[in-house]
């Protein structure tokens, strides 16, 4: 009967067995310090150096376009106010009427009296409304031209462009209309028989 005894591990083998880590215990699912596959670094360190995260942090914020949208709406509002008549133009016209009443006392002809009492006030109203229309036109043109001078590929939303084009149309119509009124080409001053 061949009896072989199992040899007890020698001292170096026992030391090597003690140095091996125990891998029977499963790692906790929320443990950030668990090493990732193929590396000896903890997962927290490798996640911090992820290239996608670095690109997201370094990417500049894109402009939201709130200023352009507000400018487009303001331009359209100014165009509407200019065509319908503003409070400022009415006050300026009434002031000019008062000045005309004072000056009409020295007027010698009917044409001068009409111009002093009514013509100057109408011209002042047309001038103020024309300036508002020109401001609306300028503001809308700035909004439409802004993407050309901004970041490459930047485009305003469709509704901002639509409102801006509407403001351009209202502003251009107002400038034309009030220019013709200011120079008495559209509605000339009435004349009286001498």
Single pTM value for the model: 0.64
User: What would the pLDDT profile of 93-120 be if each residue is shown by its tens digit?
Assistant: 999 999 999 988 888 888 888 888 899 9
- Give the pLDDT score at 42: 54
Residue partners of 118: CB distance under 8 A and separation at least 6 = 97, 100, 189
- Contact (CB, 8 A) for 86 and 129: yes
Greatest C-alpha distance within the chain: 156
Q: What is the pLDDT of residues 23-82, one digit of tens each?
A: 555 555 555 555 555 555 555 555 555 555 545 455 455 566 788 999 999 999 999 999
**First CA to last CA distance, the chain:** 156
Whether residue 184 contacts residue 111, with contact meaning beta carbons closer than 8 Å, is answered with: no
Write down the pLDDT at residue 37. 53
User: What span, in angstroms and rounded, lies between the C-alpha atoms of 162 and 144?
Assistant: 10
Vertex 89 angle, CA 84 and 95, to 5°: 145
């Amino acid at each position: 009967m061949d009896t072989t005894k199992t040899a007890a591990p020698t001292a170096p083998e026992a030391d090597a067995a003690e140095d091996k880590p125990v891998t029977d215990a499963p790692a906790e699912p929320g443990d950030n310090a668990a090493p990732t596959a193929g590396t000896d670094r903890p997962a927290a360190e490798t996640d911090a150096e992820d290239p996608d995260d670095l690109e997201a942090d370094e990417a500049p914020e894109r402009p939201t376009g709130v200023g352009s949208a507000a400018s487009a709406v303001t331009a359209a509002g100014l165009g509407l106010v200019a065509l319908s008549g503003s409070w400022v133009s009415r006050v300026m016209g009434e002031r000019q009427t008062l000045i005309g009443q004072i000056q009409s006392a020295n007027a010698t002809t009917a044409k001068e009296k009409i111009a002093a009492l009514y013509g100057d006030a109408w011209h002042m109203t047309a001038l103020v409304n024309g300036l508002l229309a020109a401001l609306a036109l300028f503001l809308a043109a700035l909004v439409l031209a802004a993407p050309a001078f901004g970041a490459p590929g930047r485009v305003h939303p469709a509704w901002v462009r639509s409102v801006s084009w509407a403001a351009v149309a209202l502003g251009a119509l107002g400038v034309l209309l009030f220019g013709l009124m200011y120079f008495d080409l559209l509605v000339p001053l009435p004349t009286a028989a001498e």
